[in-house]
Amino acid sequence: MIKDFIEKNIIISDGAMGTYYSELTKDSVNRVEEANLFNRDLITSIHKEYIESGASLIRTNTFAANTICLNISREKLKNIIENACLASKDAKGDKNLFIAGNIGPIPEFEDDGSKLLYKDILDEYKFIIDCFLNCGVNIFNFETFATDKYLKDVFEYIKLKDKDSFIMVQYSISKSGLTRVGISIDQLIQDSYPVDVLGFNCGTGPTHLINNIRDKSLKYPLSLYPNAGYPELVNNRTVFNSDPKYFAKVVLEGVDFGAKIIGGCCGTTPKYIKSINDLLNGNRAETPVVEVKKVETKESIPNSDKKHIIAVELDPPFKPNLDKLLESARELKDIGVDFITVADSPSGRMRLNSISVAARIKRDVNIDVMPHICCRDRNLIALKSDILAAHSEDIRKILVITGDPVPLEERDVVKKVFNCNSVSLMESISGFNKGVVSDSPFIIGGALNLNSKNLDVQLKKLEDKVEAGATLFLTQPIYDNRAIEFLSKIKKKPGVKILAGILPLVTYKNAQFLNNEFPGITIPDELIQRFNQDMSREEAQKIGINISIETVNRLKSFVDGFYFITPFFRTSMIREIISKALMNNR
């Protein structure tokens, strides 16, 4: 029936279960699937919320329901799946809706590091499928896969057991358009075994997902389940801050590319599904008109004759070719940039090692560098070893950050470490400065988020980092008056310097993406509305440059310098901003 339905209709599916359950319970559970046993009423209630918001397809709370992930017996696994199906059916009632048995990838390695045999993993999938079929569920949703390994045999088994079954498969891709094992979207589509729906979930927010599937030649109906955006860690909890209406507007662009099933993954809630339903069914609210006021900078902002420190961030590439990055670094050196910062696998996505890249820049370009070091991926022994290796490469600046969370879709493959946080690692480096590198100590840098809802908490973090030995702070990108006003009132200890973060906007969509999907960035509506979607690249880039110049002029009387983040390797934008806003007092 569902196969006939999607030929003429768009199906709205549900949103996240795990992250929404954690939001409701304030409990950062790792395995929400076990809540089918001890909190089934709440699972049923969540399904009902999604149905009331417009979902006509709900997925059972069974993503990680397998004996490997949960470390349970098959008897208990069967009980979890049965209760998950009951919760879905109780929520459905007599409504004309669809229930899909939700199945995630089964890890190939056990906790002790031993590798499971192919036949054992395949047997586990077959057991899970039998549990669903015995519960009367014959729609299957395989989601967050990185490879099609096992799937051909699994799909053949399903069709053997129930020829009328309906199979959906969804792969998780990063913003680069690759799965975590490096398989491209085109390859996934080309090599796919016969399925009823092929789609993509998790991995990115709606903008990057839509950009990646645009203009692809599809063999099967498409499903889209993006994350709400990119998460941040708040009090050890993974939090998504984005706008449901923005999410709906972007993800529904997928209908033009063949999307027949649309829902949400990590961070989405019933509000996101309601926004999709409202927009798809024509209940769209009018976009408010924002009056744009010109920012007067010459009269209201006092000029400063002091020299400002200028740092520029270049993201290390995914591939081992550094030619483009080194070329950008040379351009920046030529305009007087003081040092280059290099991110450490930002957003929890693998990139070239920040210290190695920084060392290469320093050797080849002869400019000072500041690699980022995050606490997410290495224990304290490895972190200290890397930091001393940086010193041996003549690197004397280190930006210490706790690090973005590991993407939720990779939680069974990539393990976070967090053996320490940024403050305790700063204390360790301070220990080096007093001992093994006392003759040529590190300058310890830290991050400062002025876009936080609670700026007093950020000020306390700043004080803790100074106490731990940090003397140089780089802020998140600044756009709004609240952050500027707060920064102007910070009283620093002698020797502490703050560089204000500047990330030039490049288009209307770029501004919307950063404001709605990227953690730690807030962009006022009046700035976003200075762009429009019909602008040429040159027109939009000019506006982005002007906004950055205005922000620099408003900040430079009370900051020690600026930390420019290069958008899409457009060093020409950074060069123009620096030449127009800062070269007179260099």
pLDDT digits (tens, 9 = 90+) for 120-174: 999 999 999 999 999 999 999 999 999 999 999 999 999 999 999 999 999 999 8
Smallest CA-to-CA distance from 504 within 465, 541, 559 is with: 541
Rounded Cα distance between 72 and 163, Å, is 31
Centre a 10 Å sphere on the Cβ of residue 288 and count the other Cβ atoms it contains. 7
Sign of CA dihedral 185, 187, 190, 195: negative
Measured in residues, the chain has a length of: 586
Percent of the chain with pLDDT over 70: 91
The secondary structure element, H or E, covering residue 333 is helix 323-334
Rounded Cα distance between 65 and 77, Å, is 7
Q: What's 207-245 look like in SS3?
A: HHHHHHHCCCCCCCCEEEECCCCCCEEECCEEECCCCHH
Rounded Cα distance between 141 and 62, Å, is 10
Counting Cβ atoms within 10 Å, is residue 186 exposed (0-12), middle (13-18) or buried (19+)? exposed
Predicted pLDDT at 290: 32
Q: DSSP for 266-294?
A: TT--HHHHHHHHHHHTT-PPPPPP-PPPP
* Strand segments (E) across 302-393: 309-314, 339-342, 368-374
CA dist 584 → 10, 307, 466, 541 (Å): 58, 9, 31, 23
Rounded Cα distance between 322 and 87, Å, is 52
What the chain holds in terms of domains, given with CATH numbers, is 2-280 (3.20.20.330), 309-585 (3.20.20.220)
Rounded Cα distance between 570 and 135, Å, is 55
Centre a 10 Å sphere on the Cβ of residue 308 and count the other Cβ atoms it contains. 20
Predicted pLDDT at 583: 74
Predicted pLDDT at 409: 63
Predicted pLDDT at 507: 95
The answer to pTM > 0.85 is: no
CA dist 571 → 334, 335, 565, 578 (Å): 12, 11, 9, 11
Q: Are 330 and 302 in contact (CB under 8 A)?
A: no
- Give binding residues for Zn(2+) as ranges: 202, 265-266
| Residues 330, 331, 335: CA angle, nearest 5 degrees | 115
Predicted pLDDT at 237: 54
| 396: amino acid identity, one letter | R
- The SS3 of residue 330 is helix
Predicted pLDDT at 294: 34
What's the Rg (C-alpha) of the chain? 25
| Residue ranges in the chain modelled with pLDDT below 70 | 28-30, 111-112, 231-241, 283-306, 407-412, 584-586
Predicted pLDDT at 302: 34
| 383: amino acid identity, one letter | L
Q: What is the dihedral of CA 379, 380, 383, 384, to 10 degrees?
A: -150
What's the number of CA atoms in the CB half-sphere (13 Å) around residue 403? 22
- Give binding residues as ranges: 202, 265-266
Rounded Cα distance between 408 and 32, Å, is 13
Q: Are 344 and 401 in contact (CB under 8 A)?
A: yes
What's the number of CA atoms in the CB half-sphere (13 Å) around residue 436? 11
